[in-house]
Amino acid sequence: MPSHLVVGIDGSDESATALAWAVEDARRRRLELELVYGLAIPVVSDAYGMVMTRPDIDELCRYSESLLEAARTAAEKLDPDVRVRTRLLNGPPAAVLIEASKEATGLVVGSRGLGAISGRMLGSVSVRVAAKACCPVYVIPTGYDPAAAAGDPVMVGVDGSAYGDAALRLGLDEARCRDAKLTVVVAHHMPWLARPVEPALIREFQASEVQLARRTADEALARVCTGSDAEIPVEVRLMECHPEEALIQAAKTAQLTVVGSRGRAALSRALLGSVSRAVLQEATRPVAVVRFPPKRR
């Protein structure tokens, strides 16, 4: 049974923010931390595949190990009681973290790393691990301050899909260990092209959409909740807007937002569903992304 959190380390400020969040989460859940650095060795070759230049591998390894040791020291200063270990692995960061996720309880990364474009653009590593990791992925935004979210609820987006059910299960577990309320968000939206002309029919259609959204939430809770979840206070919030708008708005007042990696309308070939990607892009507080079904080695 996995009993540790993996944290992606790359020496950036975003990585440091993710590490601080992971230390607190590991303390709360009594887990160990595994700090992982993916060392991708750059090699320049010519048009025929002949190697032109190769870096000093020993120097790169020493630099990588120094980053991991600095991260370990920082984690131990934050909480000496949390056990910390480090791993230096050869390969691209995203591939290395996805492999490490096969044996982890959760994977924690910053929203951007050293190689990301400046601004609010989501880093490619966080996108890939959120889509492919075998455990829940926690993406921590730059400069996040946990004190600002103290006492706020855990929020989860539900849409009636298996991905939504997986997100709800994690949301319940997170609310329990944080002693927080769980807010279940269901979006309902009637496209303008589907609206009848008569005002009375419009109101009837809108009432039907609200009833469907409420039934979606109630059925998901009935499928996922167990007897041990009875003590968790649950609020159902129905929001009349597009799903990404609803989740982005609700995430502003949640200490953690949980979403499925895809929803009912996601394309199977898409790396991430449009809703989960939009939430990751815009969220200013931590977001957890859950795949379904979970795939472990």
> So where are the chain's domains?
1-144, 149-297
Contact 223, 275 (CB under 8 A): no
Question: Which residues partner with 89 through β-bridges?
Answer: 38
Look-up of token digits 């979840």: 229
Cβ neighbours for 284, distance < 8 A, ≥ 6 positions apart: 141, 144, 251, 252
Cα 247–chain centre separation: 13
Let me know: does 296 contact 101? Beta carbons within 8 Å.
Answer: no
The Cα 127–Cα 173 span in angstroms is 24
* CATH, range 149-297: 3.40.50.620
| Same fold? 1-144, 149-297 | yes
Reading the chain (297 residues) residue by residue, the pLDDT tens digits are 568 999 999 988 889 999 999 999 999 999 999 999 988 776 555 555 554 555 567 788 888 899 999 999 999 999 999 999 999 998 889 999 999 999 999 999 998 654 444 444 456 788 889 888 999 999 999 888 888 888 999 999 999 999 999 999 999 999 999 999 999 999 987 765 555 667 777 777 778 888 999 999 999 999 999 999 999 999 999 998 888 999 999 999 999 999 998 755 544 444 567 888 889 888 899 999 998 665 544
Residue in 141, 161, 178, 157 with CA at minimum distance from that of residue 245: 157
Neighbour tally for 189: CB within 10 Å: 15
Q: What is the CATH number of domain 1-144?
A: 3.40.50.620
Q: Which helix (H) or strand (E) holds 44?
A: strand 44-45
Per-residue pLDDT at 148: 86
